[in-house]
Every structure is written in structure tokens, then in C-alpha cells.
Amino acid sequence: MKPILLRAFDEADVPSLRALLHSVWGDDSSVRHYYRFGPVEREASSDVPARTTVADVSGVVVGVASVWRDSMHPNRLRCGVMVHPAYRHKGLGRQLAACLEELNPEALPLSTSLWAHKAEGRTARFLHALGFHQVQAKYIGQLSVRDVDVEAFRPLMEWVKEAGYTVHSLADYLERSADRLALAELFREVYTASHRHDPPADMALVDWLALLQENAVPDGSLVVQCNGVPVAVALLHNGIQQSMELGWRGVAAAHAPAKRQLLLAVTLAQISYAAANGARRVTLEAASTDAGSMTVLDELPFAATPGWLTFHNDPA
């Protein structure tokens, strides 16, 4: 076998890295968007700064170790190790994993994610040997809008109304509200509650409001108010192939006793909206760290499959 050289990433490695990604993950675009590569000297000027070591065989990249920052979750570095199938089970993965320490001089805790079907057998043992433990599982739910009998939930809708809650589109709320930042504060609360394992950055409320509106369908995203105060939010996004995506949803802790009813009510309203606007199905990404999304996944007829798993390595 030709000698393997571990060296720093160079811009000329990009085509070879793309080929490596394809050999490991095929045409999975979500994985290609997850990984980041870059030289240390470019880190300060990059939108997503990364530090990368590659395994080089005669100018061809056959393995890689990389760490990168996520500005939304700055307390950890994301990381990834990949080895070309032809070079596996020869110790190269462990050599590259050892490079993660050199790429992380701040000794920040690490996080890595991969598809559930890839996190089995040797991969699971490899992660465990490196000190990683699973902190979150995501599930991808798909639902045909024809499979939901919204009328069967009419009593729930009536309960929401009688309990003093009113449901408004995001567009309507933003147009008439004198305190938009109250919605931003709610969004920060529900997002943070589902990310206790990886707290978000300390952002200004105006930035939370911008994040909430990013790619959201204004007329299909919903805000629930009680006595004029926003207490629940549910985002909706356009999908592909006649689908719509159910985005972030959550309820203020002060209204936890009504959490199930509110989340089901807004989700059912969004399914009706999707059907009325030509969508044949809706999708939902539910996280094990988010009890609200799991409630929606469990109580409505979603066909769910395992999605991403996230692992953390917390150094002593």
C-alpha cells in the first residue's frame, strides 16, 4: 500500500474531498451541507470557520478530520472524521480522530452528527471509544394531508378557544403587534428549552425575530396569544414536490398544562392550510430533546423514520 500522509487541508483538495464525500455518503445532500472544511489561516475570515487535516495518498484525499464552528451554538465545535471505504479497518480512522485534539487547541467540547443507519456496529464502537455519547435523536415524519380528519379534532379546537387562546397567522401578528419582540422572546424560550444539551448563542431579540421569520410562510406560520401575549408559536415552510415542512413549534413554560392541546391545534390548522394551498403531504423533523415535536409526531398519523443522531464528547 502506498504511504499515507496526514497534512493540513489545501484549497486544491476540494475536488478530492467532494469525491470522498460521495464515496462515503453517496448523493446525500444533507451530509454534504453538514460537513465543513478549511485551512486554519482562513478561519478568521470564513462565515463557517473550519480547521481540517486530510489523509493524502499520492495527491488523493482518502480520509479527513475536520472541526468547525456553529455560530448558533458556539459552546461546542462540530467535528467529523471520514475514511474512504477502501482504506477502512486499517487504523486510519483512529489516526485522524487523534488529529481532532490538534485542531481544537481551545479544548472545546465536541459534537458530531450522522444518520441513524450509519451509527451502528463499528461506527458506534468507534464513537464510544473516542468518548462520545448520544444526546439527541431526530425522526423524520411524513404525513399525507388526506390521512388527517381535522373535523375529528373539533372538540380540541373548541377547547383551545374556550380556554381563552386565539390563533393568528404570523403575518397578521407582525402587522398589528406593537411588541414584536415579545414573540422573539417566546421563540428564544422554546428554542433554548429544546437545546439544553447545546445552548444557543446569546443573541439580541431582534436577531431571534429575524431567525424566526427566515424562510417562514407568513400566512401559514401561527402565533397563539392569551390575553394579548404570545404563548405559542408554530412555523411552516415550503417544501419540495408538493409538500410543506412543519418547522419549530413550542409553548411557553407558563402554559405547559395546555401544551399538548395548543401544539396539536396549530399543527392541525397548518395541515389544513397546506392542503388548501396544494400540498399533498407535510413533513416534520422531531427531536428527542423536544417533547412538543415528539407529541405531534406520536399523536398524528405520521410515518416516521430515524433521522440524525447527535453525539457529544465532553472532556474532563
Domain residues for 75? 5-108
**pLDDT band (50, 70, 90) for residue 44:** very low
Backbone angles phi and psi of 165, in degrees to 5:
-95, 145
Domain final residue, candidates 108, 127, 159: 108
Using pLDDT thresholds of 50, 70 and 90, give the confidence band for residue 218.
very high
Mean pLDDT of 42-61: 76
- Does the pLDDT of residue 124 top 90, yes or no? no
Residues 77 and 160 in one domain: no
Question: Is the domain of 11 the same as that of 65?
Answer: yes
pLDDT tens digits for 225-239? 999 999 999 999 999
31 pLDDT more than 90: no
- Percent helix / strand / coil, the chain, rounded to 5: 40, 30, 30
- Residue 135 covered by a domain: no
Residue 45, pLDDT score = 41
Question: Is residue 134 in some structural domain?
Answer: no
When pLDDT is cut at 50, 70 and 90, the band that residue 270 belongs to is very high
pLDDT of res. 153: 93
Q: Does the pLDDT value for residue 254 go beyond 50?
A: yes
Check residue 314 and give its pLDDT: 81
* Same domain membership, residue 154 and residue 93: no
Last residue in a domain, options 93, 108, 123:
108
Q: Give the Cβ contact number of residue 175 at 10 Å.
A: 10
Cβ burial of 86 (10 Å; 0-12, 13-18, 19+) is: exposed
- pLDDT, residue 234, reads 97
Answer whether residue 294 is part of any domain. Answer: yes
**Is residue 50 in some structural domain?**
yes
Residues 6 or more apart whose CB falls under 8 angstroms from that of 45 comprise none
Torsion of CA 26, 29, 31, 35, to 10 degrees: 110
Please state, in angstroms and rounded to a whole number, the distance separating the CA atoms of residues 64 and 231.
Answer: 45
Per-residue confidence (pLDDT) for residue 23, from 0 to 100: 92
pLDDT at 147 over 90: yes
